[in-house]
Structure 1
Amino acid sequence: MLGDVIASLTARARAALRRPPTPLTNQRIYVVIGVLVGLGNIASNYVINGMPRPIDLIFMVVALVLLALIPLRPIPGTAAYLACWTMLLLLPTTDPADMTVTNLAFLFFLGRFFSAWPAFSLFLIMLFIQLVLVATAGASSGDIANALGAMWFTALVGALLVPLGALVRFIEASRLTEAEQADANLEEMRLEIAREMHDLVAYSMSQTALRAQRAAADLSYPARARDEFTALEATASDALHELRLLLRTLRQPSSEKEQPISMATGLGSVVTDLKTAVSAITADVSSAGFDITYRHLGEASPNRLQASTLSRVAREMGANIIRHGDPDAPATMTLSLGPDVIRLVATNGIRDTSAHLPRSGTGILGMRERLATIGGTLTTLSDEGTWMVTATVPVVEPRTAPLPPKEES
């Protein structure tokens, strides 16, 4: 069993080291780390050796810039840093200690931004550069001993920092995978809720509306009872209309949603995209079996209160089309945005021309009351079997500062 545990841990460690680096969403954090380490490198050299020479200060500043570049562009940043490190070792007038502190962050970045084998290969290249320069320098034994000590120090800290960077990369990748899995689970849960609501709630509500409609048309019931059935059928149809809008949005993948549910369907008290809200309502009318055409004209922008009110009015228009319209006759819904007014017009055929025309009941009265609160109006018109409802709201001009009076000459 101990052998199985060791083998399992070894396999997981090997998989972690071989996992490719994931795209970062927090590059700024590592850029800040690179800058802070570069500044710390300059400060430590100043404290230990006093004011650095211009050539040393140049290498320190270049190392700072390249270290901050690595999180943004790992490959060119790493290549440039190794080239800077090599030049520092080649020039006889420079001190290799000028990049000691930045080398620590560089080794950590190798593990963080590269997979296992490229990271350790770059680390070995760094050690090989030091070894070759020590072997070909021809310096005194004391200088060679110092160079070998620096190389062993680099090897020791690299053996610690490169795996540490790989571990951080593995932890971040694991957290990202867990977050993606959680999002996938929520997506599946959302679709399951939509399916259950469609199969159970929407079906039951449709049956309620249908039975209430049949009961309202049954002359064996008293007139008062038939009026109650009519009100029940209207309430159920409105609720079913809202439910269909919600289900339409729930079934839409999250990656394709441009607005939240309240903006896409007209639900909620705040709607900012009136075009999308009206489009969703016409789509629901179309799914109910009507041949409806939606058009929007103009580019005027309603304020939040106007957009919310008009979306509610459009919802009531759509519900009236489903409730009273003739599915065999074409229907339209047109949204005109500006330049002076915002106008929403709905037309549909009347289901039974022998019956009474739609009258200003609670639905139309409610639309008029909503529009009146924002200075709008509602008009209705019936003509040769066609019913038309028009909602009009004045465009609110943005406030501008008054011009200063002209000075008299």
Structure 2
Amino acid sequence: MRSDALDSLAARAREALLRPAEPLPNRRIYVIIGAVVGLGNLVGNVATNPNSLGPIDIVFMLAALALITLIPLRPLPGIVAYLVCWCSLLILPGPYATDMSISHLAFLFFLGRFLRPGPSLLLLLVTVLTNAIVLIGPGATTDDPAANLGTLWYTMLMGALLVPLGVLVRFIEASRLADARQADANLEEMRLEIAREMHDLVAYSMSQTALRAQRAAADTSYPERARDEFAALEATASDALHELRLLLRTLRQPSSTREQPISTATGLGSVVTDLRTAVSAVSADVSAAGFEVTYRHLGDAAPSRIQASTLSRVAREMGANVIRHADPGAPVTITLSLGPEVIRLVSTNRVRDAGAHLPRSGTGILGMRERLAAIGGTLTTLSDDGSWMVTATVPVAGHRSGILLPPEEQP
């Protein structure tokens, strides 16, 4: 049992330590650390030895600042360049070894943090051997062996402390990343299981409810009032099924290949950033309900966050009305025009019974008007010879009566 646990721990440690470097944005904290240490090295040396520093000392300090900041971004080239700079400092007779003493601490830590354990320890050994040859070897360029020996011991001691510390930090961060990825994998499996259950149980039940209500509404043996209630039940079930299909389509799509978050793809949630994708998802759902849909988008103006969210909700209501009232044998068009001055969403369709069931300005139409009015938009409806058109219009962000919108409403 103990052997299995040790083997598992060792395998996890190898996986964590050999994991490729994280993306550059995750290294910003180390860039800041390198810059702070490099500046501390420069300011500390200038403050403690203002009269003994020459131009070449300042050059080495500035080089140390630049290279120690570069290492987190480009570890291997930065480390090699720093080592060359450090060895040059030790070889040249003019500058002092203390010119890079503080920045050297960050270098040793970065050596263990950004390289794998094997290469980092190998480079540490090479560094120590090179320093030993330069400082106390036959070619030593200074007459103070004690100072040279102290510099060598300082490098060895700091390396023995900071390189393993860097390796430990690398292991801890990699382990946390592995745990996060495992949690994501578990959530992914849970999400897929929820999607399967909702499809097999809820979606199936809703479909059966809508179908049976539709048949009952068409059965003339029932009183007219009962058939009206069945028709209302069918409409409600169809609307709920429409919303569910949008969610299931996104839930079944693996998150690793999903280009947009669920709120964007479905219109669910309070924030929608890609209006084209949200309206396209509504169009696809209407098509899946058995309608011949033509979806077009024009222009490239960027709506504000609140505009995208509101228009996505309006598009969902338009889609629900098409499924509820439109003639399945007639084409449906959904057009999204982005700019240059207004954003316009237009839906057109034929109605099942032009004489009796033309859509009216009920709660759905009223709700769309209220949503659009809240952001300075309008909704217009038009019926003509059995055809129905709904148009939602909002001004492009920044063009409302020639006045710039506040920052929170900007794209």
TM over 0.5: yes
Counterpart for residue 125 of structure 2:
124
Q: Report deviation, 1:213.
A: 1.6
Query: For structure 1, which segment, 247-256 or 110-119, has the greater mean C-alpha deviation from structure 2 after superposition?
Result: 247-256
In the TM superposition, 1:99-110 aligns within 5 A as: 99-110=100-111
Cα distance in 1 between the residues matched to 2:147 and 2:166: 28
Counterpart for residue 407 of structure 1:
none
- Provide runs of 4+ in structure 1 moved above 6 Å: none
Counterpart for residue 68 of structure 1:
69
Query: For structure 1, which segment, 110-119 or 24-33, has the greater mean C-alpha deviation from structure 2 after superposition?
Result: 24-33
Using the size of structure 1 for normalisation, the TM-score is 0.83
Using the size of structure 2 for normalisation, the TM-score is 0.82
Counterpart for residue 137 of structure 1:
139
Q: Among the aligned pairs, what percent are the same residue?
A: 59
Counterpart for residue 53 of structure 2:
53
Counterpart for residue 254 of structure 1:
255
Query: For structure 1, which segment, 99-108 or 358-367, has the greater mean C-alpha deviation from structure 2 after superposition?
Result: 358-367
In the TM superposition, 1:348-367 aligns within 5 A as: 348-351=349-352, 356-360=356-360, 362=362, 365-366=365-366
In the TM superposition, 1:213-232 aligns within 5 A as: 213-232=214-233
Query: For structure 1, which segment, 150-159 or 337-346, has the greater mean C-alpha deviation from structure 2 after superposition?
Result: 337-346
Query: What do residues 37-90 of structure 1 show as CA deviations (whole Å, max 9, x unaligned)?
Result: 233334544565553421323322222221111111212211121111111121
Cα distance in 1 between the residues matched to 2:377 and 2:104: 69
Counterpart for residue 18 of structure 2:
19
CA 1:58–1:333: 2 relative to 1, 3 Å: closer
Cα distance in 2 between the residues matched to 1:114 and 1:228: 71
Cα distance in 1 between the residues matched to 2:4 and 2:317: 66
Q: Is the 8 A contact 1:324 1:351 kept in 2?
A: yes
Counterpart for residue 334 of structure 1:
335
In the TM superposition, 1:292-303 aligns within 5 A as: 292-299=293-300
Q: Report deviation, 1:262.
A: 3.8
Cα distance in 1 between the residues matched to 2:364 and 2:247: 23
Q: Report deviation, 1:172.
A: 1.0
2:32 alignment partner AA: V
Cα distance in 2 between the residues matched to 1:339 and 1:148: 73
Q: Secondary structure at the match of 1:40?
A: helix
Query: For structure 1, which segment, 162-171 or 190-199, has the greater mean C-alpha deviation from structure 2 after superposition?
Result: 190-199
Cα distance in 1 between the residues matched to 2:310 and 2:45: 67
Q: CA RMSD in A?
A: 3.4
Cα distance in 2 between the residues matched to 1:11 and 1:299: 53
Query: For structure 1, which segment, 89-98 or 256-265, has the greater mean C-alpha deviation from structure 2 after superposition?
Result: 256-265
Counterpart for residue 378 of structure 1:
380
Counterpart for residue 39 of structure 1:
39
Counterpart for residue 409 of structure 2:
none
Alignment of 1:151 onto 2:184 = no
Q: Secondary structure at the match of 1:136?
A: coil
CA 1:269–1:224: 2 relative to 1, 3 Å: farther
Counterpart for residue 28 of structure 2:
28
Cα distance in 1 between the residues matched to 2:129 and 2:339: 72
CA 1:364–1:10: 2 relative to 1, 3 Å: closer
Q: Is the 8 A contact 1:368 1:378 kept in 2?
A: no
Structure whose CA Rg is larger: 1
Q: Is the 8 A contact 1:339 1:395 kept in 2?
A: no
1:387 alignment partner AA: S
Q: Secondary structure at the match of 1:26?
A: helix
Query: For structure 1, which segment, 287-296 or 359-368, has the greater mean C-alpha deviation from structure 2 after superposition?
Result: 359-368
CA 1:110–1:262: 2 relative to 1, 3 Å: closer
2:382 alignment partner AA: T
Q: Report deviation, 1:260.
A: 4.1
1:182 alignment partner AA: A
In the TM superposition, 1:181-330 aligns within 5 A as: 181-268=182-269, 271=272, 273-299=274-300, 307-330=308-331
Q: Report deviation, 1:272.
A: 5.4
Q: Report deviation, 1:285.
A: 0.9
Counterpart for residue 77 of structure 1:
78
Q: Report deviation, 1:310.
A: 4.3
Cα distance in 2 between the residues matched to 1:316 and 1:180: 37
Q: Is the 8 A contact 1:17 1:166 kept in 2?
A: no
Query: What do residues 337-387 of structure 1 show as CA deviations (whole Å, max 9, x unaligned)?
Result: 45666544333345578x84434263675367548845634333354xx53
Query: For structure 1, which segment, 191-200 or 12-21, has the greater mean C-alpha deviation from structure 2 after superposition?
Result: 12-21
Q: Secondary structure at the match of 1:200?
A: helix
Q: Secondary structure at the match of 1:104?
A: helix
Q: Report deviation, 1:167.
A: 1.0
Q: Report deviation, 1:241.
A: 1.0
User: Aligned residues, how many?
Assistant: 397
Residue ranges of structure 2 left out of the alignment (5+ in a row): 405-411
Q: Is the 8 A contact 1:46 1:52 kept in 2?
A: no
Q: Report deviation, 1:111.
A: 0.7
Q: Secondary structure at the match of 2:137?
A: helix
CA 1:29–1:300: 2 relative to 1, 3 Å: closer
Cα distance in 1 between the residues matched to 2:290 and 2:166: 60
Q: Is the 8 A contact 2:210 2:237 kept in 1?
A: yes
Cα distance in 1 between the residues matched to 2:101 and 2:48: 13
CA 1:61–1:380: 2 relative to 1, 3 Å: closer
2:77 alignment partner AA: P
CA 1:101–1:366: 2 relative to 1, 3 Å: closer
1:31 alignment partner AA: V
Cα distance in 2 between the residues matched to 1:401 and 1:244: 40
Cα distance in 2 between the residues matched to 1:18 and 1:272: 37
Cα distance in 1 between the residues matched to 2:224 and 2:394: 42
